[in-house]
Amino acid sequence: MNSKIGTYLCGLWVMFLLAGCGGSSGGGEYYSTSSTGVAVDPYIVGAVFQEVSGDGMTVLQRQSGPSDESGVFRFPKALTPGSIVEMKVSNRGLHGGAPYQGMLRRRITTSDRSSVNVTPLTTLLTNGTTEDDLLFILNEAGFPGISAADLYENPMTRPQGGGRQDLQNMTSGVDDSMLTLLQANMAVNDYMEITGNFQVTGNDLQRTSQATILNSVSNALRSRLNAAEYNRIKNELAQDPQLTGQPTLGDMIMAVLQQQQTLVASTKEDMSVRGTFDPGLVNQTVTDGKAQLVAMVKEQHQLGTQPPAGSGVTLYADYCAMCHNALSSSSKKNRTSAQIQAAITNNIGGMGYLSTLTASEIQAITDVLTTNQPPPTTPADGATLYSGNCAGCHGQLAATGKPGRTAAQIQAAIDNNIGNMGYLNTLTTVEVQAIADALPAAQPPDPTTPPDGVALYNSECAGCHSPLANTGKPGRTAAQIQAAINNNVGSMGYLNTLTTVEVQAIADALPAAQPPDPTTPPDGTALYAGNCAGCHGSLANTTKPGRTAAQIQAAINNNVGSMGYLNTLSTAEVQAIADVLPPATTPGPDYGDCTACHGQPPSGNSYPNTAGAHAVHTSLPSVNNDCTTCHVGAAHNGQLDLGFPASYNARSGTATDNSNGTCSSISCHGGITTPVWATGSITVNTQCTSCHSSGTSQYNDYSSGQHNKHMSKGYSCTVCHNTTKLQVGHFSNLATTAFEQSAASTIGGGSTSVGLYQSGSCSSINCHGSKRW
């Protein structure tokens, strides 16, 4: 007998090991969920998702990484069966290059062992539509042949062999059957965007008015996105000499997507005016769009043959070519990543604005700048070097504004980025010397002739500060000018060769500053236009909305973006500029994610993340992080929308929020007014009367037996009730009117004075003999 049992147990153990190791090829295979998804309708780029519990009340994973060009996004951890993956409202990504206006969701099941596809069809299923209902709806809309398994597939692929083939790069063998699933997904998405109903279910879509909308957009898609139309456009574009290669099916899909986006926008606008859906408008939009479809497919194909976004070629063209010539003739060949990064970090040549480039993007630019050509062996031509690197700012060589400068002075100007000369840091010592050698000699000043302040201003200052008569710097003193030069304010450091006498001459030539009219407040709009718009755009489109006077002044004080030259603005003028700036616009919180505004539960010290007694309550089994236990509405209107289910009403009345941080008539508090939420507390093992009372007929009233007699003598509840025993059921389900364990079972033992309580009688009592309760 023992041998048989041992053999049986051993067999079970082996089976367990096989199951745990994946040794079985059947249904007992060890299960592990995926952490990867695909956002597709077609592919959506840059979308971020969150994972929430099946009831939507708990955020399990706050956000995924953004979806890539194939719609793929990844969570840090594996997804949980029963949870829901849903798009974050604040990060819906791009759909055919335009902001995605829809909302995608998918419920995770135990069969999701690889990357999960999140599509419009999975959204309907997650909303509560059954597979059978959805298949019926799709068939009625003109999409036959779709199976239940297809509802979860990536519609940008088709079955091939034992796997699936992506549709994007196909140029031959296209037939209508491989497009049906994609058409169905796109049609459902268009319906949801037109109606604005992203919680739509099968019941909604079976209503005639809603089915009409779905059927209309479905017909529009089929008339545009089909095999015959693709082949017709492909053959027509084959005759186009401007086109390289054949348009792919992906080009056709993206062109149709853009036309559908136009259809959705015009239909929504029409419905907002009419109040009803007009199928005729959809038909007319389709007719009008067909004539443009060839050109749109061509454009998509041409975009596809260009270097991809993020490539070195594209990055150089976008960020470098304007100053450094086209890539083929770039003046910055063979620059290293370190050199480019240093130029950005030090804002050399105004390159600081490229600080958003990543290390990989800088490396991509470096890679396309690299050549195998050896450096020239001919002597450096100073005149040519001057013409290519210096003449733009300092004039032609014969009339240069920098005669007689030495190689040391030029190198110092480069090293200190004087006049933004830092970008010349790639010049070799030999090249710098060649430029110095080519410069004409400086004419020694005539000691008998004082410097001409007007001429000095015209040659050194007017380019930035306007002609002398209209200078933006009236009344500046020699000390202020010298300080600006010393601190390279507004890139004035290159004027460090001016003598003290010359600086004084410029100051003397400046017209006197007009004192401000104390009765007229500064004009912030005019001040912005004259001092800020050149870098930050017009006031209406400023890149600095919502900046405060303190922020502006700090930027001036620290010469941020070379703003130090604005140090002559008065406090009132800085405030006037701040006052006219439009307010900063920030995206609203993602209300689908409770943690966008506060912890889950709230855990801080200030509204809306006020901890209060949240942690105590959400830890109770009957609450279990369910916010709707106490909150209703979720209006996100800056108010606490409190409300309680009827199951929490005390016998004395309806559970009520007193609007002062306390609540009344809550059954779990025995109808007694609660402590203040933010600051109050209850020690449950010693403060029993905070919730329990006698003679009130509440559900947790303690009037039975000899309670009143003992309480009147001053005995605490824990003289008889064992707090350890109470923990078993004291708070197991506060939504019921009953106590989940027998009150008698909590009496005696531990630190109580009762040795034994049985059949209504106490024995082994410290204070008296055995008594019947």
- pLDDT tens track for 324-366: 777 776 777 888 888 888 778 777 666 776 777 888 889 888 8
- The whole-angstrom separation of Cα 71 and Cα 210 is 29
CB 103 within 8 A of CB 89: yes
Taking each helix axis from N to C end, the angle separating 524-531 and 571-580, rounded to the nearest 10 degrees, works out to 90
Select from 224, 204, 216, 152 the least CA-distant residue to 181: 152
What are the residue ranges of helices labelled H in 105-162? 120-126, 131-140
3-class state of residue 73 by DSSP: strand
Q: What pLDDT band is residue 120 in, cutting at 50, 70 and 90?
A: very high
Burial tier of 457 (Cβ tally within 10 Å: 0-12, 13-18, 19+): buried
Contact status, residue 65 vs residue 73, Cβ threshold 8 Å:
yes
Q: What angle do CA 82, 87, 92 make, to 5 degrees?
A: 170
318-350 burial, b for 16+ CB within 10 Å, e for fewer?
ebbeeebeebeebebbebebebbbebbeebbbb
pLDDT above 70 for 490:
no
Q: What is the pLDDT of residue 2?
A: 43
Measured CA to CA, the distance from residue 670 to residue 663 in angstroms comes to 11
pTM: 0.43
Rounded to whole angstroms, the Cα distance separating 131 from 139 reads 12
- In sequence order, the 6+-apart residues with CB closer than 8 A to the CB of 681 are 613, 616, 675
pLDDT tier at 25, thresholds 50, 70, 90: very low
Name the range with the highest mean pLDDT among 26-30, 307-311, 412-416.
412-416
What digits encode the pLDDT tens for the residues 649-681?
888 788 787 767 888 888 888 888 888 888 888
In the structure, what pLDDT confidence band is assigned to residue 26 with cuts at 50, 70 and 90?
Answer: very low
DSSP 8-state assignment for residue 721:
B
Ranking 175-189, 344-358, 464-478 by mean pLDDT, the lowest is 344-358
pLDDT at 3: 40
| Cα 212 from Cα 142, distance rounded (Å) | 12
Give the per-residue pLDDT at 588. 52
CATH number of 445-514: 1.10.760
Question: How many CB atoms lie under 10 A from the CB of residue 107?
Answer: 19
Q: Is the pLDDT of residue 519 over 60?
A: yes
Helix (H) or strand (E) holding 163: strand 163-166
Q: How far apart are CA 133 and CA 220, in angstroms?
A: 23
Angle at 672 between CA 666 and CA 677, to 5 degrees: 70
Please tell me the least confidently modeled range out of 105-119, 124-138, 479-493, 744-758. Answer: 479-493
Helix (H, G, I), strand (E, B) or coil at 272: helix
Give Cα separations from 192 to 102, 131, 189, 559 (angstroms): 7, 18, 5, 51
Supply 552's token pair. 């502006």
31-118 and 445-514: identical CATH topology:
no
d(CA 251, CA 698): 71
- Residues 248-290 pLDDT 10s: 999 999 989 988 988 998 898 888 888 889 999 888 888 888 8
Least confident piece of the model among 201-205, 421-425, 629-633: 629-633
Cα–Cα nearest to 182, from 69, 41, 75: 41
**In 10 A of CB 282, how many CB atoms?**
23
* Closest residue by Cα to residue 125 from 142, 98, 150: 150
| Contacts (Cβ under 8 Å, ≥6 apart) of 24 | 18
Rg of the chain on CA atoms, in Å: 38
Helix (H) or strand (E) run with residue 194 in it: helix 180-195
Q: How do 163-166 and 605-606 pair as beta strands?
A: unpaired
What's phi and psi for 758, nearest 5 deg?
-150, 135
Mean per-residue pLDDT of the chain: 80
pLDDT at 586: 54
Helix (H) or strand (E) holding 210, with range, is: helix 208-224
CA distance 773 to 770: 10
What's the pLDDT tens digit per position in 289-324? 887 888 888 888 776 655 555 677 778 877 787 677
The CATH number of domain 31-118, selected from 3.40.50.12160, 2.60.120.1440, 2.60.40.10, 3.40.190.290: 2.60.40.10
What tokens were used for 573? 């003028």
At 744 the three-state DSSP class reads helix
What SS3 state is found at 74?
A: strand
- Assign 499 a pLDDT band (cuts: 50, 70, 90): confident
Can you spell out the DSSP letters for 361-428?
HHHHHHHHH---PPPP-SPP-HHHHHHHHTHHHH--GGG-SSTT--HHHHHHHHHTTGGGGGGGGGS-
Q: Give Cβ neighbours of residue 516 (< 8 Å, ≥ 6 apart).
A: 522, 570
**Look-up: residue for tokens 């054949």?**
246
| H or E element, residue 509 | helix 500-509
Q: Which residues contact 171 (CB under 8 A, 6 or more apart)?
A: 234, 246, 247, 248, 249
Token pair in block for residue 666: 């809550």
The pLDDT value given to residue 121: 96
Domain ranges of the chain: 1-30, 31-118, 156-306, 312-369, 380-443, 445-514, 524-580, 597-701, 707-772
Identify the bridge partners of residue 73 per DSSP, sorted by sequence position: 37
**Amino acid letter, 185:** N
**Averaged over 76-100, what is the pLDDT?**
87
Whole-angstrom Cα distance, residue 190 to residue 555? 47
Q: Which whole number is the average pLDDT over 219-236?
A: 92
More confident residue, 309 or 534: 534
pLDDT for 225 beyond 80:
yes
- Rounded CA gap, 398 and 382, in Å? 13
